[in-house]
Amino acid sequence: MFTGMGNNELFLSGTRLAFVLLIICSSCSPSDARKHFNAGAKKSASGDYAGAISDYDEAIQIDSKYVKAYNNRGLAKDALKDEVGAIADYTKTIELNPQYQFGYYNRGNAEVKLRDYANAINDYNKAIQLNPQDTAAWVMRGNTKYLLRDYAAAITDFDKAIELDPRHDFAFNGRGLARGHLLNNYRSAIIDFNKAIELNPRNAEAYNNRGNARRGLKDYDGAIADYDKAIELKPQYDKAYTNRTAVEALKKAIK
């Protein structure tokens, strides 16, 4: 079995602040906005997402139509689990540039986290329409269809992702999950998990999922070995511990 991605005073105060900032930035240039943007990107790369947001705020204050600054601020908010704030930024990105595929893709990812799967699929559809070669969008749309238990459609999306990038281990892992749920096709699922592990030997999820497929085939020793490896790679992997305990109980029951 698979178990598997204000009052008037406050208003006036805010108005005065905005006016002061406007005066301060009246001499700012696009290069100043880029400096803040680049500083934000560096902070995001180092994991300082709050600091990054502050820099992106500065960039947007200078250039209110800075598409990439809104997009990257959304990513930083996303990293801090502020999906609602992130979606607002991605939406602004799309409003400023309706052809910016990453705005749709990133908004879709945030919507998935909020379990807003229907809107997520709509956004992935748009990202794919704008760039049919966007492997990540195919993978994430497949993942969302999987979450909706539309396994056949998920497999079709993972197939396309693998066609575009035969070395995409997450695509093989996702297809394996979908195959395992569709008619309990565990053997085909294991082939995909094997490939995901071959491409990325540190993919703990693929080991856990292969363990579930082996459990479905009653290969309990093989399943436990996979759960052990998943836990070795990802010591806080709760599902792997739970799955291993369940299979160990099954082994004891048949002795």
Q: Is residue 198 part of a domain?
A: no
d(CA 191, CA 210): 9
Please say whether the beta carbons of 131 and 100 come within 8 A: no
User: Is 22 inside any structural domain?
Assistant: no
pLDDT, position 183: 82
User: Residue 167: inside a domain, yes or no?
Assistant: no
Is 72 within a domain? yes
Q: What six digits make up the tokens of 170?
A: 């997450």
Residue 164 tokens, joined = 């575009």
Residue whose token pair is 């999906």: 83
> Could you tell me if residue 27 is inside a domain?
no
Task: Kindly tell me if the per-residue pLDDT of 27 is higher than 50.
Answer: no
CATH code of residue 90: 1.25.40.10
Residue 10 lies in a domain: no
Mean pLDDT score across all residues of the chain: 90
% of the chain at pLDDT higher than 90: 84
User: How many structural domains does the chain have?
Assistant: 1
Residue-wise DSSP of 166-213: TT-HHHHHHHHHHHHHSTT-HHHHHHHHHHHHHH-TT-HHHHHHHHHH
- The token pair that represents 133 in the structure block: 């070669």
CA atoms within 13 A on the CB side of 235: 0
- 68-124 per-position pLDDT tens digit: 999 999 999 999 999 999 999 999 999 999 999 999 999 999 999 999 999 999 999
pLDDT at 31: 81
Q: pTM to 2 decimals?
A: 0.85
Q: Beta-carbon neighbour count of residue 39 at 10 Å? A: 17
175: in domain: no
Calculate mean pLDDT across residues 171-193.
Answer: 95
In this structure, is residue 117 part of a structural domain? yes
